[in-house]
Amino acid sequence: MKKIAVLGSTGSIGTQSLDVAARKNYEVQAIAAGRNIKLLEEQIRRFAPRYCGVFEEDAAKDLALRVADTNTKILAGEEGICAIPHLIDAETVINSIVGRAGLRPTVSILEAGKKLALANKESLVCAGDLVMGMAREKNLPILPVDSEHSAIFQCLQAGRKEEVSRILLTASGGPFFGKKREELEGMRAKDALAHPTWSMGAKITVDSSTLMNKGFEVMEAMHLFGVPLSKIEVVVHRERIVHSMVEFADHSVIAQLATPDMRDCIQYALTYPEREASPVKPLDFAAIGRLTFAAPDRETFPLLDLAGSCMERGGVAGAVLNGANEGAVALFLKDKIKFLQISELVARVVEEFEQISDPTLQDICTAGQEAERRVLALAE
């Protein structure tokens, strides 16, 4: 029986990961989340994990009382969650924690010698060089869970790395596709949260509306697949059937197509290199009818290009970009700033931040925290 752990188990990817585990009859040795103790209790009673980590210590104490009749040990805080990979013998740990809170757990998973199924893009956005260096040093795979990176990973199996001419990273375009800056002036959180395809958490959905999420995915792809920015092209594909493509030296383009259901990507990360039967519906091409593609509007959504420039700067630039964005999105979700102010605040903090060329993990974490603090201060 395959043994796994799921960090971020109460979020969209986490709950779908547990659905896959239930269908495949995997042993779930550990789970972890932030503060949703009602759902964590349900998951503990269903999967009987050995350990459950809870970021918020008060919530951890409450959960411990609720599940005192079980054999699950509750671990509190970031330290407790980072201990999980070292306490279990599971082969693979899924990290679907949202935001930079997932960085230290990613490092801990690799330190423990586990296969990392990665759905926390901020780990690579903030500390890609450090994380990829650890994986190479320990000869550990990082298996992508995001639909686009899973698709690229699958397409790359059609040829050698040196034969790749372009990675075509698809984007839904978000809820504001086709709108110009003047049309976005009055947009509020409720408008941005109306994603056309995926059911995601609020923060990621807002990132999709600004194209920041796609900028992060460009950075993630550069680290995961070892390609320069010049070889990555973002293509808006509203139908979300083609999850990404790879063009090779002979101009042949290999695409991965599937029904938009994250369980497919999660399962492939857990069964790779094998493919197994999936609960996801097969595609009905006659019903789909047509597939369309368009270039992203980089002028209206400037965070896409800002992500590329941060990647080229290196150092703590990615951590600063992510921290500033986390702060701006939090303000937007509370209706304290307007939609267009997200990109304005993030760009200002990124441009003014002091660079550190060869940062430690602590440097990276500190830079992200400081960038978020500066955004919040600017908005006061």
Amino acid residing at 120 = N
Q: Is the pLDDT of residue 290 over 80?
A: yes
Q: Is the pLDDT of residue 199 over 70?
A: no
pTM above 0.85, yes or no: yes
| pLDDT recorded at residue 40 | 98
Query: Band of the pLDDT at 186, cuts 50, 70, 90?
Result: confident
The 3-state secondary structure of the chain reads CCEEEEECCCCHHHHHHHHHHHHHCCEEEEEEECCCHHHHHHHHHHHCCCEEEECCHHHHHHHHHHCCCCCCEEEEHHHHHHHHHHHCCCCEEEECCCCHHHHHHHHHHHHCCCEEEECCCHHHHHHHHHHHHHHHHHCCCEEECCHHHHHHHHHHHHCCHHHEEEEEEEECCCCCCCCCHHHHCCCCHHHHCCCCCCCCCHHHHHHHHHCHHHHHHHHHHHHHHCCCHHHEEEEECCCCCEEEEEEECCCCEEEEECCCCHHHHHHHHHHCCCCCCCCCCCCCHHHHCCCCCECCCCCCCCHHHHHHHHHHHCCCHHHHHHHHHHHHHHHHHCCCCCHHHHHHHHHHHHHHCCCCCCCCHHHHHHHHHHHHHHHHHHCC
Q: Which residues of 98-111 are buried (b: 16+ CB within 10 A; e: fewer)?
A: bbbbbbbbbbbbbe
Q: Is the pLDDT of residue 197 over 60?
A: no
Beta-carbon count within 10 A of 205 CB: 22
* Distances in whole angstroms, Cα of residue 45 to Cα of each of 41, 49, 207, 298: 6, 9, 33, 47
| pLDDT recorded at residue 312 | 92
Nearest to 247 by CA among 262, 231, 225: 231
Q: Is the pLDDT of residue 233 over 90?
A: yes
Between CA 261 and CA 198 the distance in angstroms is 8
Q: What is the pLDDT of residues 56-89, one digit of tens each?
A: 999 999 999 999 999 999 999 999 999 999 999 9
Edge-to-edge strands, sheet with 142-144: 73-76, 51-54, 27-33, 3-7, 92-95, 115-118, 142-144
Residue ranges per structural domain of the chain:
3-145, 149-296, 314-380
Q: What is 3-145's CATH number, 3.40.50.10490, 3.90.1300.10, 3.40.50.720, 3.30.1370.160? A: 3.40.50.720
- Cβ(342)–Cβ(324) under 8 Å? no
Nearest to 128 by CA among 6, 310, 262, 302: 310
Nearest to 171 by CA among 148, 142, 203, 138: 148
Mean pLDDT of 287-295: 96
Between CA 263 and CA 269 the distance in angstroms is 10
Nearest to 119 by CA among 226, 240, 267: 267
Mean pLDDT of 226-248: 97
Beta-carbon count within 10 A of 1 CB: 6
CATH architecture of the domain with range 314-380: Orthogonal Bundle (1.10)
Pairing of strands 73-76, 164-171: unpaired
Task: Assess whether the previous peptide bond of 273 is cis (omega < 30° from 0).
Answer: yes
Q: What is the pLDDT of residues 83-139, one digit of tens each?
A: 999 999 999 999 999 989 999 999 999 999 999 999 999 999 999 999 999 999 999
Half-sphere exposure of 366 (CA within 13 A, CB side): 9
